[in-house]
């Protein structure tokens, strides 16, 4: 639908911007830190999620793809709507959100306004297998493909993920085939 917007900032409020994109003003819901740093007249680029509900069509904007991915993951949790997901990203940030899920620390989510103990626990449980290596974005498509190839060969998911992470440290911008070969070598040595 609408994957990103680039335009001049017409106005901003605590949690929204109006971006003028070729003469059309788009109201974009954003985290307060982005809105407060936005100056009217400056150009702004945001990655977006277009959420359709019975009563509204809403665009949510993010500075990074990681924030957008975290937003999408949070919305996949039962009981977490787009505004709650935006609040979590604002209050925790992507790194702390990822760390809380990886460490199974639901107390971090309880501190967010509107998130109760049951929802906090549900966020941790639901996102446990979806967040890897401290990033809500998870693995890149190359990483995911290589991990899938390794699990297809019979290796455990965790072993495959660790081998791919280790292989990526040794080589930058490797092809899938090269990454798979290096990961297999890492598993063989381990």
Residue intervals in the chain for CATH 2.40.50.140 = 4-62
**CATH level 3 topology of 65-127:** DNA polymerase; domain 1 (1.10.150)
Under DSSP, is residue 67 helix (H, G, I), strand (E, B) or coil?
Answer: helix
pLDDT digits (tens), the chain, 190 positions: 789 999 999 999 999 999 999 999 999 999 999 999 889 999 999 999 999 989 999 999 999 999 999 999 999 999 999 999 999 999 999 999 998 998 888 999 999 988 999 999 999 999 987 876 544 444 456 777 777 778 778 888 788 888 888 888 777 667 778 888 888 888 888 6
Chain centroid to CA 104: 18
Q: Give me the residue label for tokens 């103990």.
A: 117
The DSSP result for 98-167, as a single string, is HHHHHTT-THHHHTSTT--HHHHHHHHHHHTTT-BTTBTT-S-HHHHHHHHHHHHTT--HHHHHHHHHHH
Which pLDDT belongs to residue 138? 44
**CATH level 3 topology of 141-189:** Helicase, Ruva Protein; domain 3 (1.10.8)
Closest-CA residue to 8 (of 23, 24, 20, 22): 20
**CATH level 3 topology of 4-62:** OB fold (Dihydrolipoamide Acetyltransferase, E2P) (2.40.50)
Decide: 134 and 95 in contact? Cβ < 8 Å: yes
Per-residue burial over 95-131, b = 16 or more CB atoms within 10 Å of its CB, e = otherwise: eebbebbbeeebebbeebeebeeebbebbbebbeeeb
Residue intervals in the chain for CATH 1.10.8.10 = 141-189
Residue intervals in the chain for CATH 1.10.150.20 = 65-127
Separation of alpha carbons 34 and 109, rounded Å? 21
Separation of alpha carbons 44 and 20, rounded Å? 10
At residue 117, φ and ψ (nearest 5 deg) are: -60, -40
């Amino acid at each position: 639908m609408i994957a990103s917007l680039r335009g001049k900032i017409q106005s901003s409020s605590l949690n929204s911007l109006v971006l003028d994109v070729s003469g059309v003003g788009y109201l974009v819901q954003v985290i307060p830190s982005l809105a407060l740093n936005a100056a009217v007249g400056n150009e702004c680029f945001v990655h977006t999620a277009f959420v359709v509900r019975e009563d509204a069509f809403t665009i949510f904007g993010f500075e990074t793809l990681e924030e957008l991915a975290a937003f999408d993951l949070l919305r996949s949790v039962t009981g977490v709507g787009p505004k709650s997901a935006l609040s979590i990203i604002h209050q925790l940030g992507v790194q702390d959100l990822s760390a809380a899920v990886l460490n199974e620390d639901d107390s971090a989510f309880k501190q967010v306004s509107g998130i109760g103990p049951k929802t906090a626990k549900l966020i941790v449980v639901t996102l446990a297998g979806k967040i890897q290596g401290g990033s809500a974005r998870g693995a890149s498509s190359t990483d995911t493909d290589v991990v899938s190839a390794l699990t297809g060969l019979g290796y455990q998911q965790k072993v495959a993920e660790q081998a791919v992470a280790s292989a990526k440290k040794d080589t930058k911008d490797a092809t899938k085939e090269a990454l798979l070969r290096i990961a297999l070598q890492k598993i063989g040595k381990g």
